[in-house]
Chain A
Amino acid sequence: MAGKISNTPATYTPSPTSQDKKRSSIFTGSDWVRPDGRGLHQCRPAFLRTGAVNSASGSAYAEFGNAKVIVSVFGPRESKKAMMYSDIGRLNCNVSYTSFATPIRGQASDSKDLSSMLHKALEGAIILESFPKTTVDVFALVLESGGSDLPVVISCASLALADAGIMLYDMVASVSMSCLGKNLVIDPVSEEESYQDGGLMITCMPSRNEVTQMTVTGEWSTPKIHEAMQLCLDACSKLGKIMRSCLKEAVSATQE
């Protein structure tokens, strides 16, 4: 049961009375059954749409299961006056959560951390030399957190950049993996993430076969890491194809 301190009365979210039986299954070594009925190595179906926000240079909306994210890209636009001259462009990223994104209000993940990770994931893919002295702003808003939020944000951000016409070396696709006892599950939901022993996230440029970012947390054995990386890279290349087809659809829709 969560307690929450607010300005006026203290409030809390009523929590369910049922006990969690899932935790025990990991320790007995039986196979993990996923809450949404997917296979262990099956990703969530992806819904991607560009042009979600009219006032932005480029934008995209992504829905992976329950994780819903909107990303807007503004720019290239003038850098702040305090910034020093630079002959390559700058990238500015910001990720924020709505207050209703998580089941318990106000329990957002560390968004400053996510902003800098998004920056690191994207900066390798953008051709910064194409917009010297200016800044490209990438703003992400997580409408609903459904697990594996950062990979969804990164994939959505690269779609939004492509929609804005920023020059990229390649699309950036990102997938994460969780280690639950002896099971490896791809694209975890929030419940699975909370029970995980270790997490691995890979961001790569599928057509160039280059990895821009890899994050490993928790407890991993070497053979498991190899297996997880291979699965993630395969999933990334499939996601890359889906992103390309989404962009092609958007272009052909405007041409009609």
Chain B
Amino acid sequence: MATANGSNDLSSEMEVDAFRRLFPLRFHERHLLESIRPDGRPLGRARETTISLGAVASANGSALAKIGCTTMLAAVKLEVMTPKAESPDEGCIAIDFHMPPICSPLVRPGRPAEAAPVISKQLSDTILSSGMIDLKELSLVSGKAAWMAYLDIYCLDADGALFDAALLSAVAAFSHLQIPVVSLNDDGRIVLISEENSGAMWEKEPVNKEKRKLKLESCTILLDMRAPQELHSGRPFS
């Protein structure tokens, strides 16, 4: 009896899958008539979201965000640059969104996904125009050296809501960012001060001893167009 039921379940499951593939529009319409979605969620609910900080040890700040199965890994790496002449007190942020071939069967190596540059530009615009990060905090020595923050977001699993997950992981990565302590050495280059040497010789005073973390202005993130949620992110760190 059990095996007969088992084979019935399997064949009915296959029929559902086949129906979903052959008539996707009708499949979804049938669900929407009952105000429910194929995975059982009511229309107003978002998928389970998790964020974990510090996923990558080699980056200065990183975060992994998951919305349902969609997984995004964001990491911030800081490098030193010469600030532009018209804004000597400001650093710079470069945002890049990648969809490597592991994330989806539709992406092939050598042929980037269509969505990737679109989301990259959207993210860039959102983060820079929202004023979440004060670029003056990224300055080291006025006119000579400032931080360039490279934010790279990699999509590890693409299952919808890509922009939301990417934005979430980007903000989380910035909140986890720890700016390393550096000083200016005689050649005019910035060098890291390693923790072991703190007792020994410090030729120059560390340039940014106090400001180790970024202050994120509180901003509102609206998630998931189907299920608006407000997420207040960022408390002042010091």
Minimum distance in angstroms from A37 CB to a CB of chain B = 17
- B182 touches A (CB below 8 Å): yes
Of the stretches A140-148, A176-184, A206-214, A230-238, the one at the interface is: A140-148
Which chain B positions have C-beta within 8 A of A13? 79-80
The listed residue (A11, A54, A71) touching B69 by CB distance below 8 A is A54
Known contacts A17-B192, A17-B194; A143/B73 CB under 8 A: yes
Which chain A positions have C-beta within 8 A of B84? 9
- How many B residues have CB within 8 A of the partner chain? 46
Minimum distance in angstroms from A119 CB to a CB of chain B = 13
- A116 touches B (CB below 8 Å): no
Which chain A positions have C-beta within 8 A of B105? 55-56, 74, 77
Report the separation of the CA atoms of residues A71 and B62 in the bound assembly, to the nearest whole angstrom. Answer: 20
- B100 touches A (CB below 8 Å): yes
The listed residue (A15, A16, A141, A143) touching B56 by CB distance below 8 A is A143
- B59 touches A (CB below 8 Å): yes
- B14 touches A (CB below 8 Å): no
Minimum distance in angstroms from B53 CB to a CB of chain A = 15
Interface residues in B174-206 (C-beta closer than 8 Å to A) = 180, 182, 185, 189-194, 196-197
Known contacts A15-B192, A56-B102, A59-B102; A144/B159 CB under 8 A: no
The listed residue (A9, A14, A139) touching B102 by CB distance below 8 A is A139
Report the separation of the CA atoms of residues A53 and B69 in the bound assembly, to the nearest whole angstrom. Answer: 8
The listed residue (B57, B100, B180) touching A14 by CB distance below 8 A is B180
Which chain A positions have C-beta within 8 A of B190? 14
Interface centre among B59, B185, B193 (most CB of A within 10 A): B59
Q: Is the beta-carbon distance between B194 and A141 smaller than 8 angstroms?
A: no
Which chain B positions have C-beta within 8 A of A18? 194, 196-197
Q: Is the beta-carbon distance between B81 and A10 smaller than 8 angstroms?
A: yes
Known contacts A11-B79, A13-B80, A145-B58; A139/B101 CB under 8 A: yes
The listed residue (A9, A14, A94) touching B182 by CB distance below 8 A is A14
Report the separation of the CA atoms of residues A139 and B104 in the bound assembly, to the nearest whole angstrom. Answer: 10
The listed residue (B73, B82, B103) touching A53 by CB distance below 8 A is B103
Known contacts A13-B79, A17-B194; A96/B156 CB under 8 A: no
The listed residue (B58, B101, B191, B197) touching A94 by CB distance below 8 A is B101
- A101 touches B (CB below 8 Å): yes
The listed residue (B58, B103, B192) touching A55 by CB distance below 8 A is B103
Q: Is the beta-carbon distance between A9 and B157 smaller than 8 angstroms?
A: no
Minimum distance in angstroms from B10 CB to a CB of chain A = 15
Report the separation of the CA atoms of residues A137 and B104 in the bound assembly, to the nearest whole angstrom. Answer: 12
- B51 touches A (CB below 8 Å): no
Provide the B145-161 mask, 1 if CB < 8 A to any CB of A, else 0: 00010101010111100
B108 closest partner in A (C-beta): A137
Interface residues in A7-52 (C-beta closer than 8 Å to B) = 8-18, 52
A105 closest partner in B (C-beta): B77
Which chain A positions have C-beta within 8 A of B236? none
Which chain B positions have C-beta within 8 A of A52? 156-157
A80 closest partner in B (C-beta): B108
Q: Is the beta-carbon distance between A16 and B192 smaller than 8 angstroms?
A: yes
- B75 touches A (CB below 8 Å): yes
B-side residues, CB < 8 A to A, are 55-59, 62, 69, 71, 73, 75, 77, 79-82, 84, 92, 94, 96, 98, 100-105, 109, 148, 150, 152, 154, 156-159, 180, 182, 185, 189-194, 196-197
Q: List 6 A-B contacts (CB under 8 A).
A: A11-B79, A11-B148, A55-B159, A100-B77, A103-B58, A144-B56
15 new A-B contacts at CB < 8 Å, known A10-B82, A99-B77? A11-B79, A12-B189, A14-B180, A14-B182, A14-B191, A17-B192, A53-B103, A55-B103, A55-B105, A96-B109, A98-B98, A100-B152, A139-B100, A141-B154, A143-B154
